[in-house]
Structure 1
Amino acid sequence: MPQAPLDDADKRLLRQLQRDARISTQDLADRAGLSASPAWRRVKRMEDAGLIRKHVAMLDPKRLGLSAVAYVHVSLLDHSEPTMARFDDFVQHQDQVVECASITGSDDYLLKVYARDPEDLERFIMRKLLALGIVRSSTTNFVLRQTKYTTELPLD
């Protein structure tokens, strides 16, 4: 869906909101070089247009006991509509899966999965993912160290 072009003021507002969604309207306006009312109206317009989908809190996975992070490449047995719909439904109902993308190449999907430890991840893969009966193969890559993590999108 095409989006109306953003002007520099919109981009300044979005940069600040990506860094801190709880920023006060006045602080947001100050940092974007606007007064409070126009800043609020611009943010409201971008929310109404669906450009800003929601405001969330970023949690620390390790402090929540989720010390294992992995990328799981998944290849399905077939590409029929029922199989893909079943897989998509499965992914939507698994809290451990925080990202799922249909990808090109030899695999069909790439999942980002959080778990308490490697054994917890193995239980997810063996007892849930592979137990579906629609997965041809999966390859798991553990994250050893994360060197960058952001949800900020480039606005240039």
Structure 2
Amino acid sequence: MPNLDEIDRTILRTLQTDGKISLQALAGQVNMSTSPCFRRVKRLQDSGIITGYVALLDQKALGLNAQAYLQLSLIDHKEETIQTFDRFVQNEAQVIECASITGSNDYLLKVVAEDAEALEQFIMKRVLRLGIISSSYTNFVLRRTKSSTVLPV
């Protein structure tokens, strides 16, 4: 982990839970004046530790009531196949996370949809019709017991 002191860690923990906190309130949380706090936040941004700020949305409030994890294997590992798959993943809004993994599969995708039927349609008509998937295994999420974007610092 980079050379972070306790003030940096407190700034990071605070911003992870409240990205809209005012600089003045943040400075108060870390017990320093606004200018030095601003410089620390700027340094954390410039170093790439803070990569951006986002609004976290409620899946269900948006009507996205179904979620699944897809484990996929590609037909081969040629550059063209991997590029085709990577382009597909980047352009599909329903894919909210994708990781290249070890083990018997090549990729793990986290996918959201309105309901189970919409998930099935996405898998059958979008993913499998790519023509580059040799096998797939789907786990439908029944209930989420933890969902967090907060990293331990």
TM over 0.5: same fold?
yes
More displaced stretch, 56-65 vs 3-12: 3-12
Give the share of equivalent positions with the same residue, in percent.
57
- The yes-or-no answer on 1:67 pairing with 2:69 is no
Deviates more, 1:32-41 or 1:11-20: 32-41
Aligned twin of 2:45: 47
> 2:105 maps to which residue?
107
CA distance in 2, matches of 1:144, 1:135: 25
Shift of 1:52: 0.7
CA distance in 2, matches of 1:9, 1:133: 51
Count, aligned residues = 153
Match of residue 33 from structure 2: 35
Cα distance, 1:4 vs structure 2: 3.8
* Aligned residue identity for 1:143: V
For 1:77 and 1:4, how far apart are their aligned partners in 2?
39
CA distance in 1, matches of 2:132, 2:64: 27
Cα offsets for 1:36-93 (capped at 9, x unmatched) = 1111111011111211111000000000000001101001101111111110110000
> Could you tell me how far apart the structure 2 residues matched to 1:64 and 1:143 are?
17
Gaps of 5+ in 1: none
Tell me the TM-score normalised to structure 2 length.
0.97
1:120 and 1:107 mapped to 2: Cα distance? 24
Unaligned runs of 5+ in 2: none
Distance in 1 of aligned mates of 2:72 and 2:137? 7
Partner of 1:11: 9
